[in-house]
């Protein structure tokens, strides 16, 4: 089952500057067999359910190993059986409607 997911990991108890921790998550995701696209409030991730969810877990594990005591993560995720759709397809599909 393929999934497109939006991942937003929020480390708690480590102050207000979180980019260092988000960068570690980006590195974890880069090593996983998934496609990713960073944006201003999270990261889009595309891949097989098991691969994507394994990468999400590894993000939590990596941050806890760095000493982050608490993490609150928000995820949006979509699956569909009617068609195969990539992250790029989703953006293009909206942009095409804007041009029409």
Distance (Å) of CA 36 to CA 58, 65, 77: 15, 23, 13
Tell which one of 41, 47, 48, 55 touches a second copy (CB under 8 A): 41
Q: Which of 30, 36, 26 is nearest to 87 (CA)?
A: 36
Q: How far apart are CA 37 and CA 88, in angstroms?
A: 10
Tell which one of 2, 6, 32, 62 touches a second copy (CB under 8 A): 6
Quote the least distance from Cβ 2 to a second copy, whole Å. 11
Q: How far apart are CA 51 and CA 11, in angstroms?
A: 22
Which residues would be at the binding site for a second copy (CB under 8 A)? 1, 4-6, 8, 10, 12-13, 15-16, 18-20, 22-23, 26-27, 37-42, 44, 46, 49, 53, 57, 60-61, 64, 68-82, 87-88, 90-91, 93-98
């Amino acid at each position: 089952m393929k999934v497109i997911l939006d991942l937003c990991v929020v480390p708690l108890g480590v102050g207000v500057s979180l980019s260092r921790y988000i960068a570690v998550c980006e590195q974890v995701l880069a090593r996983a067999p998934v496609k990713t696209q960073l944006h201003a409030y999270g990261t889009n991730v595309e891949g097989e359910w098991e691969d994507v969810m394994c990468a999400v877990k590894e993000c939590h594990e990596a941050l806890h190993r760095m000493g982050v005591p608490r993490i609150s993560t928000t995820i949006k995720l979509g699956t569909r059986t009617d068609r195969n759709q990539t992250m790029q397809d989703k953006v293009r599909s909206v942009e095409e409607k804007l041009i029409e």
